[in-house]
A and B are shown apart, each in its own frame.
Chain A
Amino acid sequence: MPREAEPSLSERTFTLQAISEGLRLDGRKLDEFRSLELSFGDDYGVADVKLGKTRVLAKVSAEVTVPFPDRPFDGIFQITSELGPMVAPSFEVNRPTETEVLLARLLEKTIRRSGALDTESLCLVAGQKCWSVRVDLHVLSADGNLIDSSCFAVVAALRHFRKPDTSMEGETLTIYTPAEREPVPLSWLHSPFCTTFDFFGEDGEIVLVDTTWLEEQLRVGSCTFSLNKHGEICQISKLGGKPIEATLIIQCAQMALAKVKEFTDLVDGKLAEDAKRRDKGGLMAELSAENER
């Protein structure tokens, strides 16, 4: 099993010393994120997120399938992530590493279990036909903070996605092509976002957000909060690591809430921008008989 190269002793000492003095290698403040860029593709449901050198692409697709027999009224919703050797040499295909298992579990808990997508709305004919919505997460380059950027990409992609419109007349189900009827957005209930806090120092008293790959390797513990803008916690995971004072955790939760509100505004803004870009001229352009000739 290939192993990740560990930072050298001098790198380790230098970085940790700087952090204990309140400095980071890239000149950011301890509680400052790298610039978060979000862009949507030409198709519906493609989101490309860049967070410093970390880059994640999420693609949503939908198809009609048969629902699970034990859940006849629910559609199928799954998030798949695969970290391959493109991310880092230590990742192998078809052998999930710890990072991958934790990332998949975290997305599952944050987005699926918290009921962000109303799966009942994906049902077409009870027990026979339903939509299966699938999110494929591709990590194109990893430089720390994979969790926050992946979660952001998945939520943005799902909110951007449109599925073909359908209608039921008696016993016949019709699925319309995009030319016949405008595709419809998913029934989306709330947008949860992750914020990861990394702990440094002898007692884990120094808190950093949005760590780079180097900092991530040197941390003594981490804690991920998933919240939505209404102040509801969807998930918290501090899986082992150095024990942290309980009061610090409460403070982190408050900081996470502020951060999540920023994320929500960013996604809302980008979605509105994208909608404007697609909708050239609005209804008047539709009604006009003129064309480019």
Chain B
Amino acid sequence: MPLDTSTYSLALLRIDGRRWNDLRRLHAQIHTQDAADGSSYLEMGHTKVMCVVTGPAEPQAGQQKRGTGGGGQAGGQKDGASIVVNVVVAGFSSVDRKRRGRNDRRIQEMEITIQKALAANLHVHLFPHSTITVSLHVLSQDGSLLAALINATTLALIDAGIPMTDYITACTAGSTSSYAAGDDSADPLLDLNTQEEQELPYLTVATLGDSDKVAVLVCESRVQVSRLEGMLVVGVDGCRQMRRLLDGIVRQKGSKMIKEGAVQRSDMMAVSLED
């Protein structure tokens, strides 16, 4: 055990001073890269990721050679665009400098997860014979990595103007005591950092928009099945908070673009320029 969180029950404060339902500081920017079709930068606490979206574009030769992209669908199919996701974890992103190859199964699994979640959410049928490439770069890891990747992807896709059903937002939820302790007083926790992730059971959940619909649910730790419900409820609620935050960022950027004259103001826009 790397640390002791048993002090939680005394003050109900977590290791970094948050309450059980507090998200970490979220900082996000969209349109960070001028050259890209869509890009975003997202920080959830100390987890920092960058996303660049290219496309929808004509599929490049040799792009479908890799197993993870496309998800069994070869690029440029006639009934919709294929989505290719690449995740690159920088060597300096975590405490111990570890070289992760292209064939790391954990990263491949994350790529497949994001790709499949997007495939069900984007209106790919509008872009037949094309490819949407999502490149994700992990600059710093401090827990909730998959959640941060999904959130950054959503922002970048909005920037790229690819039509989608709704935001896919994600966050993690945990439980205060480990699986061994059978006590019922365990509190659910929201948005875990690395220290908490190493010690406590947690799951990553991604939902579609404001609904209760779960697009991604990944749990890798041992936990009593009775705790699942509590953790899931807190997770889904966290996703809703996350959606509000991301929506705020998108709207802020939109009104800024109108003020700067980059985009024409139209009556169709539900953007208030006051704030």
User: Which residues on A are within 8 Å of B, measured CB to CB?
Assistant: 1, 3-4, 90, 95-98, 101-102, 104-105, 108-109, 113-115, 220-221, 223, 227, 231-247, 249-250, 253-254, 257
Query: With the chains together, A98 CA to B69 CA distance in Å?
Result: 9
Q: Does B194 contact A (CB under 8 A)?
A: no
Decide if A240 touches B116 in the complex (CB within 8 Å). yes
Report the minimum CB–CB distance from A205 to chain B (whole Å). 11
Q: Assuming A233-B222, A250-B229, what are 5 further A-B pairs, CB within 8 angstroms?
A: A101-B67, A232-B224, A237-B219, A238-B216, A239-B218
Decide if A240 touches B213 in the complex (CB within 8 Å). no
Asked, given contacts A98-B112, A239-B113, whether A253 binds B223 with beta carbons under 8 Å apart, the answer is no
Report the minimum CB–CB distance from B5 to chain A (whole Å). 20
Q: Does B99 contact A (CB under 8 A)?
A: no
Query: With the chains together, A96 CA to B117 CA distance in Å?
Result: 21
Query: With the chains together, A238 CA to B222 CA distance in Å?
Result: 16
Interface string of B101-135 (1 = CB under 8 A from A): 00101101100111111111100000000000000
Asked, given contacts A114-B222, A250-B229, A250-B232, whether A238 binds B214 with beta carbons under 8 Å apart, the answer is yes
Query: With the chains together, A101 CA to B102 CA distance in Å?
Result: 13
Decide if A236 touches B203 in the complex (CB within 8 Å). yes
For A244, the chain B residues whose CB sits under 8 A away are: 213-214
18 examples of A-B residue contacts, CB within 8 angstroms: A1-B65, A1-B74, A97-B67, A102-B112, A105-B106, A115-B222, A227-B225, A238-B218, A239-B216, A240-B113, A240-B116, A240-B120, A240-B216, A241-B116, A242-B120, A242-B215, A246-B212, A249-B232
Q: Does B86 contact A (CB under 8 A)?
A: no
For B203, the chain A residues whose CB sits under 8 A away are: 236
Report the minimum CB–CB distance from B218 to chain A (whole Å). 6
For the side of the interface on B, what is the size category?
35 or more
Q: Does B60 contact A (CB under 8 A)?
A: no
Q: Does B236 contact A (CB under 8 A)?
A: yes
Query: With the chains together, A108 CA to B105 CA distance in Å?
Result: 10
For B254, the chain A residues whose CB sits under 8 A away are: none
Closest to B179 in A: A232
Query: With the chains together, A113 CA to B221 CA distance in Å?
Result: 8
Q: Does B273 contact A (CB under 8 A)?
A: no
Query: With the chains together, A235 CA to B218 CA distance in Å?
Result: 7
Decide if A240 touches B225 in the complex (CB within 8 Å). no
For A238, the chain B residues whose CB sits under 8 A away are: 214-218
Query: With the chains together, A37 CA to B130 CA distance in Å?
Result: 45
Report the minimum CB–CB distance from B261 to chain A (whole Å). 38
Query: With the chains together, A221 CA to B216 CA distance in Å?
Result: 10
Q: Does B220 contact A (CB under 8 A)?
A: yes
Query: With the chains together, A231 CA to B227 CA distance in Å?
Result: 10
Decide if A243 touches B120 in the complex (CB within 8 Å). yes
Q: Does B208 contact A (CB under 8 A)?
A: yes
Q: Does B172 contact A (CB under 8 A)?
A: no
Decide if A246 touches B213 in the complex (CB within 8 Å). yes
Decide if A249 touches B222 in the complex (CB within 8 Å). no
Decide if A241 touches B117 in the complex (CB within 8 Å). yes
Query: With the chains together, A249 CA to B207 CA distance in Å?
Result: 13
Q: Does B140 contact A (CB under 8 A)?
A: no
Decide if B116 touches A250 in the complex (CB within 8 Å). no
Q: Does B71 contact A (CB under 8 A)?
A: yes
